[in-house]
Amino acid sequence: MKEISTKIKEIASRLLADGQVNVFLAWEKGPEDHLTHPLAARSAEDAQKIVFDEYSIHNLSNYLLKFRDGHEKIGLVVKGCDSRGIIRLLEDNQFTRDRLYIVGVCCPGMKDPLKAMKINSGLLQDIALDDKADKCSNCAYPNPVIYDELLGSEQQPHVSGERKAQVEEIENMSPDQRYGFFQETFSKCIRCYACRQACVACNCRTCIFDEMRPQWVGRENNETDNLMYHLVRAYHMAGRCVECGECERVCPVDIPLMLINSKLAKDVNEFFGPYEAGIKYEQDGKPALSVYSLEDSDEGFI
């Protein structure tokens, strides 16, 4: 990874020095070993701070939303999952391809700095740092699907099958059991909306949860409003979620959002597919539920 890190630094310095990009998104090192966090470099000098290491887990494609209204050219590093986020943004017309310089890295799987932070904090017990973060143990696309330059050697998908099994377990529950499961799961949610903020597919300018006139979803932290929040979020993700796992990773109370996202991806694939979100960039490509086809299934969904 040292080598990749050095290469990224070189590329970023070159692009910034030549004025090919105005901003280069990558990572820098914090004060501790397990602390790697996003960096927006604006000069070749800033680029000297760039690192890419086993904690470079954040999906930087989300940060592109901050730049969508300008004309600035942006360089950024993407792993497999993050690169699918770029396709999400391109398909959603949030960005144009010519404003991006994409450095893809074939990803061996990352550790989660947030989890490391929690373990060290003294505030939580009985949690351990996995060699690979949860999201990386369920990653079907470790190799970038869109890039201008590719670094590292191709990786095999890292799919443990655990998540699939969990989804099946929920599918097999009786309706009452399932309702109970969701009720209990979502009762913990503190409705901070971090899952939305971290999500590249949540790119609406005014989110339905922020709409006040009328207010579609109540702001009380109770069973009804929590379930409503998660139901709406889920439907907005169907066929659009690129399974980068950031929502679940950032959630401060460990809501298993990826179970829901996997189920959505599975159903969309079954009923409207074959389809997987954000795996191939085509001019004017659209997510499965944004196009109408006579062959679409009438069953199951909704």
Partner 1 sequence: MKILNKNQLETILNKLAEEAEVFVPMSKGNSSGFYSWKTRNPETERLMLDALNVYLSPKNIGFPQTEKMYSIKQSGPDVEIKETFEDSDPRIIFGIRACDARAITCMDDVFLTRGYEDSFYKARRDNTTIIANACYNPGPNCFCAGMGIDPTEPNADIIIRDTGDTGYIWETKTTQGEQLSARIADLLEEKELKAPELKPFKTNVEYAGVAEKLKSMFEHPIWEELSQTCQNCGICTYVCPSCHCFDIQVKMWGDEGYRFRCWDSCMYTEYSAEAGGGNPRPTTKERFRNRFLHKLEFFTERYGYPLCTGCGRCIVACPTGINIVNIIDQVKEANVDV
User: Can you say how many angstroms the Cα of residue 271 is from the centroid of all Cα atoms in its chain?
Assistant: 23
Residue 58 is a binding residue for partner 1 (CB under 8 A) = yes
Residue 120 is a binding residue for partner 1 (CB under 8 A) = yes
Q: What backbone phi and psi angles, to 5 degrees, belong to 159?
A: -115, 110
Q: Which does 243 bind (CB under 5 to 8 A by kind): partner 1, ligand SF4, none?
A: ligand SF4
Neighbours of 102 (CB within 10 A): 20
Q: What is the C-alpha separation between 296 and 302, in angstroms, rounded?
A: 13
Q: Which of 97, 164, 219, 280 binds partner 1 (CB under 8 A)?
A: 219
63 vs 275 by CB, closer to partner 1: 63
Q: Which of 192, 208, 216, 291 binds partner 1 (CB under 8 A)?
A: 192
Task: For the segment 234-273, give every residue that binds ligand SF4 (CB under 6 A).
Answer: 237, 241-247, 251-253, 255, 257, 261
Stretch that binds partner 1, among 84-92, 147-155, 173-181, 210-218 (CB under 8 A): 210-218
> In whole angstroms, how close is the CB of 108 to partner 1 at the nearest point?
21
DSSP letters along the chain, please?
Answer: -HHHHHHHHHHHHHHHHTTS-SEEEEEEE-SSTT-EEEEEE-SHHHHTTEE--TT--S-GGGGGGGGTTS---EEEEE-HHHHHHHHHHHHTTSS-GGGEEEEEE-------HHHHHHHHHSS--S----SS-GGGGEES--S-SS-SEEES-----EE-SHHHHHHHHHHTS-HHHHHHHHHHHHHT-----HHHHT-SS---SS-TTT--TT--S----SHHHHHHHHHHHHHHHTTT-----HHHHH-TT---HHHHHHHHHHHHHHHH-S--TTS---TT---GGGS--TT---SS--
Residue 71 is a binding residue for partner 1 (CB under 8 A) = no
Residue 118 is a binding residue for partner 1 (CB under 8 A) = yes
> In whole angstroms, how close is the CB of 254 to partner 1 at the nearest point?
6
Residue 221 is a binding residue for partner 1 (CB under 8 A) = yes
Q: Which does 155 bind (CB under 5 to 8 A by kind): ligand SF4, partner 1, none?
A: none
Task: For the segment 117-136, give every residue that binds ligand SF4 (CB under 6 A).
Answer: none
Q: Which does 40 bind (CB under 5 to 8 A by kind): partner 1, ligand SF4, none?
A: partner 1
13 vs 185 by CB, closer to ligand SF4: 185
Chain residues that interact with ligand SF4, rule: CB under 6 A: 189-195, 198-201, 237, 241-247, 251-253, 255, 257, 261
Chain residues that interact with partner 1, rule: CB under 8 A: 30-31, 35-40, 58, 62-63, 66, 113-114, 117-118, 120-127, 188, 190-194, 197-198, 210, 212, 215, 218-222, 246, 249-250, 252-254
